Structure 1
Amino acid sequence: MAGQHLQVLSALDVAKTQFYHFTAIVIAGMGFFTDSYDLFCISLVTKLIGRLYYSTPGSINPGSLPPNVNAAISGVALCGTFAGQLFFGWIGDKMGRKRVYGLTLILMVVSAIASGLSFGHTAKGVVATLCFFRFWLGFGIGGDYPLSATIMSEYANKRTRGAFIAAVFAMQGFGILAGGIVGIIVSSSFKAAYPAKPYQLDHIGSTVPQADYVWRIILMFGAIPAALTYYWRMKMPETARYTALVSRNAKQAASDMATVLQMEMEAEPEKIERLAMEPSNTYGLFSKEFLSRHGLHLLGTTTTWFFIDIAFYSQSLFQKDIFTDIGWLPSPKTMSALEETFKIARAQTIIALCGTIPGYWFTVAFIDYIGRFRIQLMGFFMMMVFMLGLSIPYNHWKNNDHTGFVVMYALTFFFCNFGPNATTFVVPAEIFPTRLRSTCHGISAACGKAGAIIGAFGFLYAAESPTKSLDDKGYPPGIGVQNTLYVLAATDLLGFVFTFFVPEAKGKSLEEMSGEIEPDQEGIEMDKRAMLKP
């Protein structure tokens, strides 16, 4: 609506980068640091759990869990994340972002500690308890996605909004790195204190009893950063956009932002009431109006997130299996249990340092210059190229050039994160109306986790060698790692195509993208001049 631009919103849009921006990035980002640590640290310890609870004398492949158990341990947190994204996304629009923001951290702290204390008289009992607590861990993690993205987008100015949201998500890279480092420290400490023999056919002495503490400590460590962040989350005020446009509390919105921006702010309750009555601010999620305005946008954000998470999570959770298949990681039969955990953690750390983290921060650096759309297209395309580069000459990499494979593999992570893994998180927080923003982000993220679940559960079966018989491990052969990489290349192609449904939000205000307030250049310029007065 022309002439109805709110000063509190235009002040946020044109605000210079200030200390509160970085505070918000750290507070929201530490949640994502914890999220990624908790989700991906499980890949470090599944083989150790297999050695402790499922290896038997004469095992051909020590540490190999039954496929249903491996899938459950690796994927159950993703199922919880799926549910949490839908629930907290919806509740974040109904009750406000701030009111439920701390609850996600409490769930993560309690569930991370409980996961490490998983108990049972049998292997099945321990695994069942672990899966129960990791589901609720995932539920808390799921809430962090829509709430953190929405809060950061609603605090940011429009010039650097993409970089701020991407910086929150980039903390995921440091969480993955921290998982590798903690795995290295804990496993090497126990390895030095309790020496073990390499695995032998009788496996006696290769897995010391104290190794049971290793996976528990690694899982429980995720509670620490979440607990440290709780106090600061509770001190954050509700976002002015939610307070003004959803709660319609003009006075509170102006007061909160006056404190944050350190300037006088006019409440403008009459404007807020008039805006609330506009047709563009009254339609619901399941209305024809939403379908006509944002239906294709929601299709674009859900499908692209779905396809990227199939690739990202299957690669991240099972990179240890890929590296073992090509021979970069030694055969489990040549290592003790703790040595194997150490080498898996070291491999994850190398990939995080060389591919994962640089990709995230390239997105932070360039997203507000190149734009979300171009970065996402480029990322999907380059991932497809490198996936084909890994899969077509797969036997060459496997038999002759392990280092070349790892370099190519790291580049897929680089362009995943300097590409759709970051942009699919950013865009849903920018293009939907304030009253539906958290819900739509949660729906988009949940579709991504549906892809992650397919990647986690499907990869275990698909990657098995097609030459293996049913008797080798007790379950049917798959299509092999090489053909699995072909499938991942195909998902990248589909993500590339569906990116054309996603709009570019670079340089535009949230209200302009969502259609809540029509562009009003005259009002914006007046607000700019007002803010420049001493």
Structure 2
Amino acid sequence: MARNQLQVLSALDLAKTQLYHFTAIVIAGMGFFTDAYDLFCISIVSKLLGRIYYHVDGAPKPGTLPPNVSVAVNAVALCGTLAGQLFFGWLGDKMGRKRVYGMTLMIMVICSIASGLSLGKDPKGVIATLCFFRFWLGFGIGGDYPLSATIMSEYANKKTRGAFIAAVFAMQGFGILAGGIVGIIVSSAFNGAFGAPSYLIDPKGSTVPQADYVWRIILMVGAIPAALTYYWRMKMPETARYTALVAKDAKQAAADMSKVLQVEIAAEQERVEQLTEKRSNSFGLFSKEFLHRHGVHLLGTTTTWFLFDIAFYSQNLFQKDIFSAIGWIPNANTMNALDEVFKIARAQTLIALCSTVPGYWFTVAFIDHLGRFFIQLMGFFFMTVFMLALAFPYHHWTLKENRMGFVVMYAFTFFFSNFGPNCTTFVVPAEIFPARLRSTCHGISAAAGKAGAIIGACGFLYAAQNQDKSKTDAGYKPGIGVKNSLFILAVCNFFGFLFTFLIPESKGKSLEDLSGENEDDSGTEETQQKSSFRTAPV
């Protein structure tokens, strides 16, 4: 295979870790911090929405969201995210990563605020307005996936590229953690913990009108980190790989990266034109050549992300229901509305602090040593093991004396999801496809994941609400829907393990070597075929 690497791209591949790497991680990562906060904070407030808007006067129990409304509230942002991943992934390859990057952030800021200001004449109107703005919030969030991943992969050097991309994604863990902390602070403030007036203190089993402020404040806080990041995103130069290989402007690419790397880089306009005119660099997404070279890779990235997100979003969006089922969170009748928000937020915070966040950063630390393939395989394997360990003796875990054992085992599934496929499914699609299709293919892979998330969110809710009606000596079997859901999620993880074998190992390789953009026309068909199906060793 002939080497035609441009000087500007070689300089990026071989660059030592510098300040601009960490700056890019923070700028891109704050988008993912906001993404995770906005997507998962809804799990903290959804029960509060049921208490406020669906309580029947005189009823002995607090109100709850009807199943169809609960599905809409939890899944509508995921639907928007799926659409945004496809649209902005395509647009990032057509218009450039930087030009589109600011659009997604402004959508997130506006829709976060608008979600908290959702108004209506009746409960249906409020929920409908909330769902409308959360769809568009998800649309902006969706754009952040392909753009952030592609920008970071194209800025990074090949030695530590995996860690840098994973570090961007790891900010998602801090976003989940922040959602729990904000929930704790806001609910405590309105519940009298921070000296609130006595008339705000909510007696057991009730919901005072001031509780309506709590969910609105929690949702609107998500606008703050996105707004703070906007200026710095607009100052980032376009990536050299897009400018040189897609826009074909070698002079601008060299000028941008000379400033970033603080070295002199020659513009090679003739070589850029030669490279971009080659047959190996001209095929489209729906061509036979793309199918021949990258079809198996795209199948691997989409299926593994799809299967993983069924489990991941089921766990995150409905962990409050799982903890309620085993009794870790008390019955709603024994708490006031703000106590319930506090306990749900506390549970999410503990899980994030003890397992979710460490899992992300274990991946950052080891991905360029162990490789993407090994970490993803390991993560799927242990997620399968721990979910089966929870599902088979499920009723053992529901006993009061065993509840903390359940929480510890459950936390391990989060740890290995993040020290595993949650990070690697994000990293790999940003590395293995050609520059002019990189954002599009990452968007397709991510959208497949969100399709799995939607199935997981809707399916888990259905399973949890359809209890086994078979009689036992003690009556109906409680929580059997959660048990069945755990079995299903274990099966999804097992198939994710199998489809991982379709994905190539990208550790330590140039993006152009991985995508075949360094090949010239003289390469034999056999050489090109080997490049197409470079998969990780079994």
| The two structures share one fold, judged by TM-score above 0.5 | yes
CA contact (8 A) 1:464 1:479 kept: no
Q: Which whole-Å deviations, capped at 9, do the CAs of 1:130-180 have from their partners, x for residues lacking one? A: 000000000000000000000000000000000000000000000000000
Q: Counterpart of 1:515?
A: 516
Q: Counterpart of 1:524?
A: none
Q: Counterpart of 1:97?
A: 97
- Answer yes or no: is 1:491 the counterpart of 2:492: yes
Judged with a 3 Å threshold, the aligned counterparts in structure 2 of structure 1 residues 156 and 61 are, in CA distance, closer, same or farther, namely farther
Q: Counterpart of 1:213?
A: 213
Q: Give TM-score, length-normalised by structure 1.
A: 0.93
Secondary structure of the corresponding residue to residue 64 of structure 1:
coil
Judged with a 3 Å threshold, the aligned counterparts in structure 2 of structure 1 residues 438 and 337 are, in CA distance, closer, same or farther, namely same
**Residue 466 of structure 1: how far off its partner (Å):** 2.2
Judged with a 3 Å threshold, the aligned counterparts in structure 2 of structure 1 residues 198 and 60 are, in CA distance, closer, same or farther, namely same
**Residue 468 of structure 1: how far off its partner (Å):** 5.5
**Residue 464 of structure 1: how far off its partner (Å):** 2.1
Q: Counterpart of 2:298?
A: 298
Q: Given residue 100 of structure 1, which amino acid in structure 2 is its aligned partner?
A: V
Q: Counterpart of 1:532?
A: none
- Answer yes or no: is 1:195 the counterpart of 2:196: no
Q: Superposition pairs for residues 132-531 of structure 1, below 5 Å?
A: 132-192=132-192, 193=196, 194-199=200-205, 206-399=206-399, 400-467=401-468, 480-518=481-519
Q: Given residue 457 of structure 1, which amino acid in structure 2 is its aligned partner?
A: C
Q: Counterpart of 1:71?
A: 71
Q: Given residue 459 of structure 2, which amino acid in structure 1 is its aligned partner?
A: G
Query: How far apart, in 1, do the equivalents of 2:283 and 2:69 lie?
Result: 45
Query: How far apart, in 2, do the equivalents of 1:395 and 1:161 lie?
Result: 45
CA contact (8 A) 1:150 1:437 kept: yes
Secondary structure of the corresponding residue to residue 327 of structure 1:
coil
Query: How far apart, in 2, do the equivalents of 1:62 and 1:301 lie?
Result: 43
Q: Given residue 260 of structure 2, which amino acid in structure 1 is its aligned partner?
A: V
Q: Given residue 35 of structure 2, which amino acid in structure 1 is its aligned partner?
A: D
Q: Given residue 102 of structure 1, which amino acid in structure 2 is its aligned partner?
A: G
**Residue 5 of structure 1: how far off its partner (Å):** 1.6
Q: Which whole-Å deviations, capped at 9, do the CAs of 1:98-126 have from their partners, x for residues lacking one? A: 00100000000000000000000110000
CA contact (8 A) 2:325 2:479 kept: no
Q: Given residue 202 of structure 2, which amino acid in structure 1 is its aligned partner?
A: A
**Residue 58 of structure 1: how far off its partner (Å):** 5.6
**Residue 479 of structure 1: how far off its partner (Å):** 6.0
Give percent identity, aligned residues only.
Answer: 75
Gaps of 5+ in 1: 200-205, 470-476, 520-534
Secondary structure of the corresponding residue to residue 438 of structure 1:
helix
Q: Counterpart of 1:472?
A: none
Gaps of 5+ in 2: 471-477, 521-538
Q: Which whole-Å deviations, capped at 9, do the CAs of 1:318-347 have from their partners, x for residues lacking one? A: 000000000000000000000000000000
**Residue 2 of structure 1: how far off its partner (Å):** 2.2
Secondary structure of the corresponding residue to residue 508 of structure 2:
coil
Query: How far apart, in 2, do the equivalents of 1:75 and 1:368 lie?
Result: 34
Query: How far apart, in 1, do the equivalents of 2:125 and 2:480 lie?
Result: 32
Deviation larger for 456-465 or 444-453: 456-465
Query: How far apart, in 2, do the equivalents of 1:462 and 1:94 lie?
Result: 42
Q: Which whole-Å deviations, capped at 9, do the CAs of 1:336-393 have from their partners, x for residues lacking one? A: 0000000000000000001100000000000000000000000000000000011011
Deviation larger for 56-65 or 159-168: 56-65
Q: Given residue 404 of structure 2, which amino acid in structure 1 is its aligned partner?
A: T
CA contact (8 A) 2:280 2:519 kept: no
Query: How far apart, in 2, do the equivalents of 1:144 and 1:63 lie?
Result: 36
Q: Counterpart of 2:531?
A: none
Q: Which whole-Å deviations, capped at 9, do the CAs of 1:444-498 have from their partners, x for residues lacking one? A: 00000000000111111012242369xxxxxxx9961101100000000010000
Query: How far apart, in 2, do the equivalents of 1:107 and 1:358 lie?
Result: 30
Q: Given residue 303 of structure 1, which amino acid in structure 2 is its aligned partner?
A: T
CA contact (8 A) 2:75 2:457 kept: yes
**Residue 60 of structure 1: how far off its partner (Å):** 6.4
Secondary structure of the corresponding residue to residue 121 of structure 1:
coil
CA contact (8 A) 1:327 1:398 kept: yes
Q: Superposition pairs for residues 44-83 of structure 1, below 5 Å?
A: 44-57=44-57, 59=59, 62-83=62-83
**Residue 409 of structure 1: how far off its partner (Å):** 0.5
CA contact (8 A) 2:44 2:183 kept: yes
Query: How far apart, in 2, do the equivalents of 1:427 and 1:322 lie?
Result: 31
Q: Counterpart of 1:129?
A: 129
Give the superposed CA RMSD.
1.3
Q: Which whole-Å deviations, capped at 9, do the CAs of 1:41-100 have from their partners, x for residues lacking one? A: 000000001000002246465242100000000000000000000000000000000001
Secondary structure of the corresponding residue to residue 401 of structure 1:
helix
Q: Given residue 439 of structure 1, which amino acid in structure 2 is its aligned partner?
A: T
Q: Which whole-Å deviations, capped at 9, do the CAs of 1:407-431 have from their partners, x for residues lacking one? A: 0010000000000000000000000
Q: Given residue 351 of structure 2, which amino acid in structure 1 is its aligned partner?
A: I
Secondary structure of the corresponding residue to residue 355 of structure 1:
helix
Query: How far apart, in 2, do the equivalents of 1:501 and 1:4 lie?
Result: 28
Deviation larger for 398-407 or 283-292: 398-407
Paired residues, number? 506
CA contact (8 A) 2:38 2:222 kept: yes
Q: Given residue 258 of structure 1, which amino acid in structure 2 is its aligned partner?
A: S
CA contact (8 A) 1:24 1:152 kept: yes
Q: Counterpart of 2:7?
A: 7
Q: Given residue 319 of structure 1, which amino acid in structure 2 is its aligned partner?
A: Q
**Residue 4 of structure 1: how far off its partner (Å):** 2.1
CA contact (8 A) 1:145 1:445 kept: yes
CA contact (8 A) 2:56 2:63 kept: no
CA contact (8 A) 1:465 1:478 kept: no
Secondary structure of the corresponding residue to residue 120 of structure 2:
coil
Query: How far apart, in 2, do the equivalents of 1:58 and 1:297 lie?
Result: 58
Q: Given residue 500 of structure 2, which amino acid in structure 1 is its aligned partner?
A: T
CA contact (8 A) 1:308 1:492 kept: yes
Q: Given residue 161 of structure 1, which amino acid in structure 2 is its aligned partner?
A: R
Deviation larger for 57-66 or 491-500: 57-66
CA contact (8 A) 1:465 1:481 kept: no
